[in-house]
């Protein structure tokens, strides 16, 4: 049984989506987190070292960081076929996009949000324009980030775009809108939404 440490409408929400896709046995442990508006508090029941979500517990293993959790879960529950396993031709692309999500995409948008320059040659990430060039080029060839097939990388990337699309930081385009629609129209997403705030 996997325990997902979760706070409603946060980065942990998409792991309900992932666990639903995987058909994995799981339970949700709601914890409070410190929110941007000053509400919320550190929760002593949360095993995350910084009091953030998501985190999962699987027996004695505690896993945190969204990309690591996605990889851990898709490796543990390969039958759903949404995380290319070792030996699969798409494994390299899968690892690349999970790491790119955490190491380039998230910092790129935080830089943009803070209106801060991305120092070329120093920062390990790039500006959102460069990220979107790659994303658009990728999605103009295929419906999903790894190609023809939906994967857990789409859960991270698609739900993030859903959240920010239409904001000055992520202008709407037909390509992005149809990508997000493909991701969030999945039945597992609807089930996850129902459980998110329950
Ligand atoms: N790098 C982490 C980020 C996790 C994160 O910042 N989560 C937010 C919720 S969306 C949080 O828990 N914030 C509370 C805090 O920063 O203390 C991941 O991708 O899992």
Question: Band of the pLDDT at 161, cuts 50, 70, 90?
Answer: very high
CA dihedral of residues 85, 143, 8, 106 (deg, nearest 10): 80
- Asked if 158 contacts 13 with a C-beta cutoff of 8 angstroms, the reply is no
Task: Specify the pLDDT at position 116.
Answer: 96
User: What mean pLDDT comes out for the span 66-87?
Assistant: 98
Pocket residues for ligand 1 (CB within 6 Å)? 10-11, 33-34, 51-54, 65-66
Question: Band of the pLDDT at 197, cuts 50, 70, 90?
Answer: confident
89-135 pLDDT, tens digit each: 999 999 999 999 999 999 999 999 999 999 999 999 999 999 999 99
Q: Is the pLDDT of residue 198 over 80?
A: no
Q: Which residue is closest in CA terms to ligand 1's atom 6?
A: 52
* SS3 labels along the chain: CEEEEECCCCCCHHHHHHHHHHCCCEEEEECCCCCCCCCCCCCCCCCCCCCCCCEEEECCEEEECHHHHHHHHHHHCHHHCCCCCCCCCCHHHHHHHHHHHHHHHHHHHHHHHCCCCCCCCCCCCCCHHHHHHHHHHHHHHCCECCECCCCHHHHHHHHHHHHHCCCCCCCCCHHHHHHHHHHHCCHHHHHHHHHHCC
53-75 pLDDT, tens digit each: 999 999 999 999 999 999 999 99
Question: In whole numbers, what is the pLDDT of the chain averaged over residues?
Answer: 96
CA-54 nearest atom, ligand 1: 20
Q: Which among 108, 6, 13, 19 has a CA at the least distance from the CA of 52?
A: 6
Among the ranges given (77-81, 106-110, 122-126, 163-167), the one the predictor scored with the smallest mean pLDDT: 163-167
Using CA atoms, how far apart are residues 131 and 69, in angstroms rounded to an integer?
23
Q: How far, in Å, is the centroid of ligand 1 from the Cα of 37?
A: 14
CA-65 nearest atom, ligand 1: 20
Q: Which residue has the higher pLDDT, 167 or 156?
A: 156
Omega before residue 90 within 30° of 0, cis: no
Task: Specify the pLDDT at position 127.
Answer: 96
pTM above 0.95, yes or no: yes
Task: Specify the pLDDT at position 171.
Answer: 85
What percent of the chain shows pLDDT beyond 90? 95
Which of 4, 6, 8, 11 is the pocket-test mutation for ligand 1 (most atoms within 8 Å of CB)? 11
CA-7 nearest atom, ligand 1: 9
- Asked if 106 contacts 157 with a C-beta cutoff of 8 angstroms, the reply is no
Q: Which residue is closest in CA terms to ligand 1's atom 11?
A: 52
């Amino acid at each position: 049984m996997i325990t997902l440490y979760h706070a409603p409408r946060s980065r942990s929400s998409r792991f309900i989506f992932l666990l639903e896709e995987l058909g994995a046995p799981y339970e949700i442990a709601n914890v409070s987190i410190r929110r941007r508006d000053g509400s919320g508090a550190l929760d002593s029941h949360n095993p995350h070292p910084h009091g953030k979500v998501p985190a999962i517990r699987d027996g004695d293993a505690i896993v945190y960081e969204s990309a690591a959790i996605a990889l851990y879960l898709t490796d543990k529950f390969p039958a759903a076929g949404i995380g290319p396993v070792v030996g699969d031709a798409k494994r390299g692309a899968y690892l690349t996009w999970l790491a790119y999500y955490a190491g380039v995409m998230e910092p790129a948008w935080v830089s943009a949000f803070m209106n801060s320059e991305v120092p070329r040659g120093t920062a390990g990430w790039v500006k959102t324009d460069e990220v979107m060039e790659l994303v658009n080029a990728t999605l103009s060839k295929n419906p999903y980030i790894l190609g023809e097939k939906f994967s857990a990388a789409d859960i991270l990337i698609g739900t993030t775009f859903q959240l920010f699309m239409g904001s000055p930081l992520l202008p709407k385009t037909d390509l992005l809108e149809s990508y997000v629609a493909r991701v969030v129209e999945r039945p597992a997403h609807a089930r996850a939404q129902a459980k998110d705030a329950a």
